Amino acid sequence: MIRTAMLQSLFDPSSLASSNLLGFALPAADSAADANYWFPAQASSFAADMDALWYFIYWVSVFFFIGIVAFMVLFVTRYRRTATRTQPERSASHNTALELTWSILPAFLLVAFFYWGWTSFLVIATPPRDAMEVQVGAYKWGWNFTYPSGHTDSELHVPTDREVKLIMSSADVLHSFWVPEFRTKFDVVPGRYTYLWFKPTRVGEYQLKCTEYCGTGHSAMRAKVVVHEAGGFEKWLEQAEGALLTMEPKALGELSYKKLGCAQCHSLDGTKLVGPSFKETASLWGNARGLADGSEVTVDENYLRESILEPMAKVVAGYQPQMPVIPGIREKQIAGLIEYIKSLSGPNQ
Ligand SMILES: [Cu+2]
């Protein structure tokens, strides 16, 4: 690529990377560098390019910072007021050649920043057609991911060296999808779909963070991202789906409680979070529960099933109508969750 060649002629990345000058290594464009002082590890196909652009702007800024400060100190010292020099030096009101130089040369640099940034942005903003598609749901305060097979999970699992396109939407407010190691980030907006793509290049576990302040639970709005080695993703998906078929209901309910994001808002120990604690729900089994609209409902299987499928139908008194619909939830998971919640008031709780 032209940009890379241009950069390599400006700074020799291989010598810098190997000498690791003060830890500010400049990675070669096709490398997958480890974490360093400035950046986490590079784990996607455009991470190296993104970092190289950052280092380019960084070193240009360092050059001008040092140059400007050095001249400033020189002039301040050299032309300072002294006992023998009490009047200001005479100075030219302007110098056309100098002014043209300091305007035109930096303009070329700005165009270089723009060109590099723009062409990189085009790559990041254009998802490849044959990418694997994953639906992403964001809500206060968690994430869910629905895979092409229909499986929904609270963790993002992807195969390595395969383009992945995320089709994202929010159930409530603005959120933002960010995995620092992938060097890409995009807002997740209620009422519309936004897209983000990446090609993971490094097997490992990463953390997805929400980067749009979205309320009190914002800092806890994280999810595990797993990049599998070749074949590992299919194996993981098969296992996760197999678990749905073979697990006994209560155990499946406990797993779903963690996997589907219920745990973000419903505690098991009576603590009031965004939604009522499941312990409280269980303790009311067979009895009436007060709703936000002043009516009452009997806590039983039908009430729980309705609340999972249609969270706004019966909002418990004292809580905000905030729960999102869980995409792709299976009947078996609903039955499991009901059994699990029921069990929380049992003798061994
Ligand atoms: Cu958020």
Together in a domain, 221 and 286: no
Query: Is the torsion defined by CA of 322, 328, 331, 334 positive or negative?
Result: negative
Instruction: State pLDDT tens for residues 296-309.
Output: 999 999 999 999 99
Q: Rounded to the nearest whole angstrom, what is the distance from the C-alpha of residue 265 to the centroid of ligand 1?
A: 14
86 domain-assigned: no
Inter-residue long-range contacts of 183-186, CB under 8 Å, 24+ positions, other chains counted: 183/42, 183/44, 183/46, 183/47, 183/50, 183/51, 184/44, 184/46, 184/124, 185/211
Q: Which of 262, 175, 179, 186 is nearest to 226 (CA)?
A: 179
Pairing type for strands 164-170 and 132-139 reads parallel
Q: Rounded to the nearest whole angstrom, what is the distance from the C-alpha of residue 104 to the centroid of ligand 1?
A: 43
287 domain-assigned: yes
Please determine, for residue 166, whether its predicted confidence score (pLDDT) is greater than 90.
yes
pLDDT at 274: 85
Task: Give the domain extent around 223.
Answer: 132-242
Together in a domain, 121 and 8: yes
Together in a domain, 257 and 236: no
Together in a domain, 146 and 112: no
Alpha carbons 202 and 181: distance in angstroms, whole number: 9
Together in a domain, 322 and 252: yes
pLDDT at 165: 96
Together in a domain, 104 and 136: no
- Helix/strand/coil for 311: coil
Together in a domain, 222 and 281: no
Q: Rounded to the nearest whole angstrom, what is the distance from the C-alpha of residue 270 to the centroid of ligand 1?
A: 25
Element (H, E) at 139: strand 132-139
pLDDT at 118: 95
Instruction: State pLDDT tens for residues 140-154.
Output: 888 989 998 888 888
Q: Rounded to the nearest whole angstrom, what is the distance from the C-alpha of residue 195 to the centroid of ligand 1?
A: 16
Which of 189, 221, 242 lies at the terminal end of a domain, its last residue?
242
Q: Rounded to the nearest whole angstrom, what is the distance from the C-alpha of residue 220 to the centroid of ligand 1?
A: 9
Q: Rounded to the nearest whole angstrom, what is the distance from the C-alpha of residue 324 to the centroid of ligand 1?
A: 13
Q: Rounded to the nearest whole angstrom, what is the distance from the C-alpha of residue 176 to the centroid of ligand 1?
A: 6
Q: Rounded to the nearest whole angstrom, what is the distance from the C-alpha of residue 84 to the centroid of ligand 1?
A: 65
Specify the CATH number for the domain of residue 293: 1.10.760.10
Alpha carbons 301 and 279: distance in angstroms, whole number: 15
Over residues 63-89, the mean pLDDT reads: 91
Q: Rounded to the nearest whole angstrom, what is the distance from the C-alpha of residue 155 to the centroid of ligand 1?
A: 16
Together in a domain, 174 and 187: yes
- Helix/strand/coil for 208: strand
Which of 242, 274, 309 lies at the terminal end of a domain, its last residue?
242
21 domain-assigned: yes
Alpha carbons 99 and 119: distance in angstroms, whole number: 31
348 domain-assigned: no
Give how far the C-alpha of residue 311 lies from the chain's centroid of Cα atoms, to the nearest Å. 26
Tokens coding 111: 């165009």
Please determine, for residue 163, whether its predicted confidence score (pLDDT) is greater than 90.
yes
- Average confidence score pLDDT of the chain: 85
pLDDT at 32: 67
Instruction: State pLDDT tens for residues 175-226.
Output: 999 999 999 999 999 999 999 999 999 999 999 999 999 988 899 899 999 9
87 domain-assigned: no
Together in a domain, 100 and 200: no
Together in a domain, 267 and 166: no
Q: Rounded to the nearest whole angstrom, what is the distance from the C-alpha of residue 140 to the centroid of ligand 1?
A: 6
Alpha carbons 214 and 262: distance in angstroms, whole number: 18
Residues in CB range of 287: below 8 A, 6 or more apart: 298, 299
Question: pTM for the full model?
Answer: 0.70
Q: Rounded to the nearest whole angstrom, what is the distance from the C-alpha of residue 224 to the centroid of ligand 1?
A: 15
Together in a domain, 326 and 275: yes
36 domain-assigned: yes
Q: Are 63 and 105 in contact (CB under 8 A)?
A: no
Q: Rounded to the nearest whole angstrom, what is the distance from the C-alpha of residue 168 to the centroid of ligand 1?
A: 13
Q: Rounded to the nearest whole angstrom, what is the distance from the C-alpha of residue 212 to the centroid of ligand 1?
A: 6
Residue of higher predicted confidence among 52 and 328: 52
Q: Rounded to the nearest whole angstrom, what is the distance from the C-alpha of residue 211 to the centroid of ligand 1?
A: 7
DSSP letters, 160-197, are: TTS-EEEEEEESSS-EEEEEGGGTEEEEE-BTS-EEEE
Alpha carbons 330 and 262: distance in angstroms, whole number: 15
Q: Rounded to the nearest whole angstrom, what is the distance from the C-alpha of residue 70 to the centroid of ligand 1?
A: 45
Q: Rounded to the nearest whole angstrom, what is the distance from the C-alpha of residue 222 to the centroid of ligand 1?
A: 9
297 domain-assigned: yes
Q: How many domains does the chain have?
A: 3
Which of 197, 214, 242 lies at the terminal end of a domain, its last residue?
242
DSSP letters, 271-296, are: ---SS--HHHHHHTTTSEEEBTTS-E
Q: Rounded to the nearest whole angstrom, what is the distance from the C-alpha of residue 218 to the centroid of ligand 1?
A: 5
Together in a domain, 226 and 257: no
Q: Which of 13, 72, 298 is nearest to 24 (CA)?
A: 13
284 domain-assigned: yes
Q: Are 188 and 222 in contact (CB under 8 A)?
A: no
